[in-house]
Amino acid sequence: MSRQRIALRVEYQGSRYCGWQRQGHCDSVQQQVEQALTQIANEPVEVHCAGRTDTGVHALGQIIHFETAVERPLRAWIQGVNTKLPADIRISWAAPMADDFHARFSAIARQYRYVIFNRPVHSAILADRVTWESQWLDVDKMQAAAQDLIGERDFSSFRAAACQASHARREVQWIEVSRRGDFVFIDIRANAFLHHMVRNISGTLMEIGRGERPVNWVAELMAIQDRTQAGVTAPASGLYFVNAFYPEEYAVPQVALNELLWQ
């Protein structure tokens, strides 16, 4: 029996989950999505994602794919699957894909947004959805420092000790630090990311924004390639997987930054 490959875009609020990846000891986003797809397909379904996210991390444009032998209208893979998912996970797009498409290996870049709520008192409504910083952040200094991350470089200073990647070279294509009222955004796009890379960058930039470190600290960290010398790992609650980018022939739509919460 022939099988078809389907791609989906998944949005989730990650606070209740131990990350994307299926694990035996705790509830994960992948587990919830596979269970819902299995009910609609009436056969076991295993999915592959563009980029695994850690415990407490959120996503707006996570891309996944799976294979199935059953025929279903596309609306079944969206509305039907959503009826089987908890309220903090949603499918927002579905499309059939060529057999050579792979959610992870076909992606040419990924984009994350780190959201900081910057005022003296935290918000009860936004708890677990943003990172709170009570001390005023100098966004201009953070933006200036961030530009030293651009290019294909060795990011050992921003790599988690448990990172399993074979090397630390990544290409940061674009990074911008901006403010909208009480919200500070760190938007970053790269060909790929190391474990905790965005959170480690964000923690370092926040120290610069608080005036605890000079603007040239990022350049120094890139030169010494030593994770122990960089800033602390910023909390998971502020991190959002925004987009995975693919060659044009796959026609995977993007989430625009002006569509995001708090923009």
Q: Judge whether 249 lies within some domain.
A: no
Last residue of a domain, one of 57, 74, 106: 106
In this structure, the answer to whether residues 46 and 157 fall within a common structural domain is no
Q: Are 41 and 70 in contact (CB under 8 A)?
A: yes
Q: For residue 48, what pLDDT is reported?
A: 97
For the full predicted model, state whether its pTM sits above 0.85: yes
Q: Which residues are 184's β-sheet partners?
A: 116, 179
In this structure, the answer to whether residues 128 and 145 fall within a common structural domain is yes
The pLDDT tens digits for 172-195 are 999 999 999 999 999 999 999 999
Instruction: Write the CATH number for 41.
Output: 3.30.70.580
Question: Which structure tokens are listed for 155?
Answer: 């990011």
Domain that includes residue 204, residue range: 109-242
* 3-state helix/strand/coil string of the chain: CCCEEEEEEEEECHHHCCCCCCCCCCCCHHHHHHHHHHHHHCCCCCCEECCCCCCCCEEEEEEEEEEECCCCCHHHHHHHHHCCCCCCEEEEEEEEECCCCCCCCCCCEEEEEEEEEECCCCCCCCCCCCEEECCCCCHHHHHHHHHHHCEEEECHHHCCCCCCCCCCEEEEEEEEEEEECCEEEEEEEECCCCCCHHHHHHHHHHHHHCCCCCCCHHHHHHHHCCHHHCCCCCCHHHEEEEEEECCHHHCCCCCCHHHCCCC
The pLDDT tens digits for 127-160 are 999 999 999 999 999 999 999 999 999 999 999 8
Q: Judge whether 255 lies within some domain.
A: no
The pLDDT tens digits for 22-59 are 887 889 999 999 999 999 999 999 999 999 999 999 99
Is pLDDT of 1 > 90?
A: no
Q: Answer yes or no: 54 catalytic.
A: yes
Angle ∠(203,30,62) on CA atoms, nearest 5? 55
Is pLDDT of 262 > 60?
A: no
Is pLDDT of 260 > 70?
A: no
Q: Max Cα separation, the chain? A: 63
Last residue of a domain, one of 106, 126, 159: 106
In this structure, the answer to whether residues 122 and 96 fall within a common structural domain is no
Last residue of a domain, one of 106, 133, 159: 106
Task: Quickly state the pLDDT bin for 235 (edges 50, 70, 90).
Answer: very high
The pLDDT tens digits for 72-110 are 999 999 999 999 999 999 999 999 999 999 999 999 999
In this structure, the answer to whether residues 96 and 121 fall within a common structural domain is no
Q: Judge whether 228 lies within some domain.
A: yes
Q: Judge whether 250 lies within some domain.
A: no
In this structure, the answer to whether residues 100 and 119 fall within a common structural domain is no
Residue 58 CA: distances (Å) to CA of 13, 216, 228: 5, 30, 26
d(CA 128, CA 236): 9
Specify the number of domains making up the chain. 2
Instruction: Write the CATH number for 174.
Output: 3.30.70.660
Average pLDDT, the chain: 94
In this structure, the answer to whether residues 134 and 226 fall within a common structural domain is yes
Task: Quickly state the pLDDT bin for 249 (edges 50, 70, 90).
Answer: very high
Q: What are the backbone dihedrals phi and psi of residue 249, each rounded to the nearest 5 degrees, phi first? A: -65, -20
Question: Which structure tokens are listed for 45?
Answer: 């379904």
d(CA 96, CA 4): 7
d(CA 56, CA 203): 16
* Catalytic residue (one of 54, 88, 154, 182): 54
In this structure, the answer to whether residues 95 and 213 fall within a common structural domain is no
